[in-house]
Amino acid sequence: MAGPSHPSIHLRSVSLKKAAQLPGAFPFSLPLVRTLETLVFPSPVTIFAGENGSGKSTLMEAIAAAASLPIVGGERIQTDHSLEHARALAAHMRLAWSKRTHRGFFLRAEDFFRFARRMNELGKELENEAQRYSGDSYGDMLARGSLLGQRAGLVKRYGENLDARSHGESFLKLFEARFVPDGLYLLDEPEAPLSPLRQLGFLSMMKEMVADRGAQFIIATHSPILMAFPGAAIISFDALPLRQVPFDSIEHVALMRSFLNDPELYLRRL
């Protein structure tokens, strides 16, 4: 693969020590880890494609830990108990940068749903607390104004009642609110809250963020729609060593295309 040159490519590659130099316990016991030496990111958008259990999420989490990216809606990556294995793997990982960036974030589908619930709860808590200061005294008006101002700030940034909006609309609103230019964005199955139409909307948003705002994306996904991002480098995790493959050769793409061409054929076989 040719070396990356696009200005949105901040992270050029990740590499691991030789297998003989790695510990033997999980996640180092995974075949993916034992065979991975260097993975190059030749495009501003890299797709991790493959079946569950192939190691996509494990590698994604380790890259996020090595890059010290914040987790949207979760704990700090340095203390999240569920990412202990990712931090262990990250300690044996080398990241090669074109331009080191501390901007961006790591987002898992479960973190988004947790974040949406928490923002909704926080908005209600602020509103209920403000109602306690219902008097006309200067102190009451000052406290009420402060609490309602905080709630208004949440609404302005994330929208009114994230939990009540469609999940797809909430996800796009959240992503837009937290996005900053020249960042690295690691997304694990972001299609979970997105309908096909919202996925197309997210592709449009990504296209503008890459072209005009210096964003780099690494996305683990099962979605043929997200895989179709123009110019994306698709890395298959279904066979080792990892390799870049064309869009039309991806099993999810071929299966979806075949099913839509003749769904009755598949349904008769169930």
Mean pLDDT of 49-66: 93
Domain that holds residue 249: 11-109+181-268
The CATH number of whichever domain residue 259 belongs to comes to 3.40.50
Instruction: Report if residue 187 sits inside a domain.
Output: yes
Instruction: Report if residue 118 sits inside a domain.
Output: no
Instruction: Report if residue 198 sits inside a domain.
Output: yes
Query: What burial letters (b/e) apply to 4-26, b meaning 16+ CB within 10 Å?
Result: bebebbbbbbbebeeeeebeeee
Q: Is residue 81 very low, low, confident or very high in pLDDT (cuts 50, 70, 90)?
A: confident
Tell me: the pLDDT tens digits for 160-211? 555 544 566 778 887 888 899 999 999 999 998 888 999 999 999 999 999 9
Mean pLDDT of 147-159: 62
Q: How much of the chain, in percent, has pLDDT values that exceed 70?
A: 81
Instruction: Report if residue 149 sits inside a domain.
Output: no
Instruction: Report if residue 3 sits inside a domain.
Output: no
Structural domain count of the chain: 1
Average pLDDT, the chain: 84
Tell me: the pLDDT tens digits for 106-121? 998 777 656 666 656 5
Is the confidence at residue 2, as pLDDT, over 50?
no
Instruction: Report if residue 142 sits inside a domain.
Output: no
pTM, to two decimals = 0.79
Instruction: Report if residue 201 sits inside a domain.
Output: yes
